[in-house]
Structures are given as C-alpha cells and as structure tokens.
A and B are shown apart, each in its own frame.
Chain A
C-alpha cells in the first residue's frame, strides 16, 4: 500500500505544509479532506464548472483535475487565504457589495480567479473580463452582478 503514498510539501495560504498523500488523489481531495479547506467546492469533478478553482503559483487551476502530488513545491491559495486579519480582501468586498453572491457554491472559485486578475494588474476590456472568468458556471446570478463586481474591483485598483 505504501507505494501509493508520497510525501509532498507545499505552501497553502501562507503556511508551509508537509504531508503524505495518496498518489491517486486530486488536489481538491487533499485540500478538502486532509486540510479541511472546504471552501474548495466540487461541482463536476472533470474541469467543466470551475467551482474547485484554486490559485497555483498565482494561476487559476481546476483542482479536481490536478494530481495532489503535483502540488509539491507549489504555492497554493484557496478562498480561506484571502481575508487577512479578519478583513475581507478587496475582491471579497466587491462580491459582497455588488450582490454577486447567491447560493455561494461558485463564489470561492470566482473570487480566486478575480483575485488572480487583480494581481496581474492588466487593463481589460469588458469582453476580456468576461473571457477571463468564463471558466466558471453560475446558475443563480446570470453573471450580471459577478461581472459588475469584477469590473469594479479592477477599476478601483
């Protein structure tokens, strides 16, 4: 059974973590089941919905189709790592203020993709904003207020 285990270390939300993971698990499973970072959601398990998005070295990635062992040496941000000292990040605030949240299941992933956009700091047209967040399905909001939240936080920067 031991050949199925591999020791990895990575940085998650500014904390260094070392643990033995099963080579068969996805990063999503390790984040949720081992580290209890349950803000990472599973909506499809095959990279079609974006609910499981986390930032790996700053890039949005679907953690459901990312082997946990690949996280070795990486820096990972989940939604739990965004608020600092109890204060919401600018992106989180924009989602709250614009009313961009309904059921909340797609929210963590979207907030992370938005965070990556803000950190890249590029000027984006409306079409480009939409393209950059098009890897997230939301069935509640019709995307209107999500778009406004992203636009706002990119403009406010």
Chain B
C-alpha cells in the first residue's frame, strides 16, 4: 500500500489544469514509475496525487504542417521507440527511449514524466538537448514554450510554475533535417540500469566538414548539459581523426561530473571523451 491521501483522476486536460490551478500542492503522476517508487521508499507522506492516466490524446506523435515533430507528454517510451516518425526523422530519440529501464517500465513511463522529474540521468534528456526540443507548458489559462535546454534548474528540479503541466514536446524541422545522431548510454548493465554517463551527439556535415555539431551529456553536471566549447570549436572543421579527438577532449570544458560510488569523476570524464569520439567516428562513417 502506498501512503496516498487522495487521487484526482481527471478525464481531460482542461479539467486536470483546473484541478491543479486550485490545488497547486498536488503531485502530478503520469506513468507512476518515479512517483510510486518514491512513495514505496517513504519519500512522501499522505500524498495527494493528480493522475494524468485517464487523459486521452496526449500520447500522440505527429508532424505538423511546418515539419515540426510534436510528441504528447504522455507518450510512453515504448511508443517513441516504435514510432515511424521518430525512427525516420529523429532516430537518436528512439535510441535513447529504448535504453531506458526495461520493457515493462518503457510500456508505462512517459517522456513528459522523464523530463519533469528533473533527473540528471534522464535518458531522454541528452537526445532532446541536442535536438533543441521545445517544451509546451500549460496552465488553466495560459501557455508558454521553453527550450528544454533552459528547463532544468538543478538535480531533481525543473522550472515548472505552480499549476503548470508539460503537455507537448516539439522538435522543429531545422533541428532534425540533415542531422544524424547517436546516443550512447553507458551503464554497468545492458538493460534495467541507470546511466553512469549519457552522451548524445547530433551532427550535420557537408563533405565531412561540420556545419552544426551538438553534444549533450547526461549525468555530467547538476543538469543535462550541452558542450558549448566543443560545439563552437567544431564549426567548419573537417572530421579528421585528429579533429575528432580534439573535439572530444573539449567536452571536458563544459562537463562537471562528480565523484560518487556509482562512478568516479575521472572515469566519467574519460568516458565522456571516449564516447563522444566514438559517436563522431560512427556518424562520420568511413572517410
């Protein structure tokens, strides 16, 4: 049994937003794979939940007229991983999705929940950071859009206003067209694990020269981050062995991994470099 005092189960988004507006102390629960585990570990007492389970229509993936990919916040990781639009246009996100937990968790955990719980190890975050994903946030009477790169506030903290619910994730066409991507999740196990390091690399080249390179890291700082220095330096560079090594080395200027029993700072820094290099090598192909 969970230490729950009340569960609201609105049938539509509008009613969810209204309930939340009137009861900002509620804890939002979507797939439940974080909230219920935290409850089991005694992190909440007599919690009041606002369950989004019964809301329809927020689990769809579509391409809008301008080519923007729209992902409903309640879309499960399984659905993302199996979705044709995702696999065709942003396969890096499919890679990230299937790396998360195990099948049963992916069948219920939502991408919105993964973003909003603010975990530094969130498997969707590095890929979404490279894609410059936009988050569409709604309250009962307003809405706003914020880049995911500005959404995180610290470990386990995101910039949601009272009464605000993440409803959609948007990826505009200029952020995926002509890009190739690679996500490396480094963990001790090949399944059912959390990342020791996550490295997402998104690359756009012409004749092996970098037009646009984006490198995002998970578990490398208090929030997921982009490697600004490496990205800036890479512009216009040819992806030679030497340059790929150089770019990989520069990731360390932005990464601030910490020492913990899950992995040392030194090892994490090493992995960031190795995995960035390997991602570049793979994306570049045989040159």
Contact = CB atoms under 8 A, between A and B. Distances in A.
- What interface size band does chain B fall in? 20 to 34
B40 A135 contact: no
B7 A61 contact: no
B40 A61 contact: no
Contacts of A132: 103
Interface string B26-41: 0001001100110011
Contacts of B32: 65-67, 70
A154 interface: no
Nearest to A29: B1
B191 interface: yes
Contact of A23 (B7, B102, B107): B7
- What interface size band does chain A fall in? 20 to 34
Contacts of B104: 47, 50, 53, 60-62, 113, 135
A65 B102 contact: no
Interface in A98-150: 113, 131-137
Given A59-B107, A60-B104, A65 B37 contact: yes
Interface of B: 1-4, 6-7, 9, 29, 32-33, 36-37, 40-41, 51, 53, 78, 98, 101-105, 107-108, 190-192
Given A25-B2, A45-B40, A47-B36, 6 more contacts: A22-B1, A26-B1, A47-B104, A67-B2, A67-B29, A134-B191
23 contacts: A22-B1, A24-B1, A46-B41, A47-B36, A47-B101, A47-B105, A48-B192, A59-B78, A59-B107, A65-B32, A65-B33, A65-B36, A65-B37, A66-B108, A69-B51, A70-B53, A131-B98, A133-B103, A134-B103, A135-B102, A135-B104, A135-B191, A135-B192
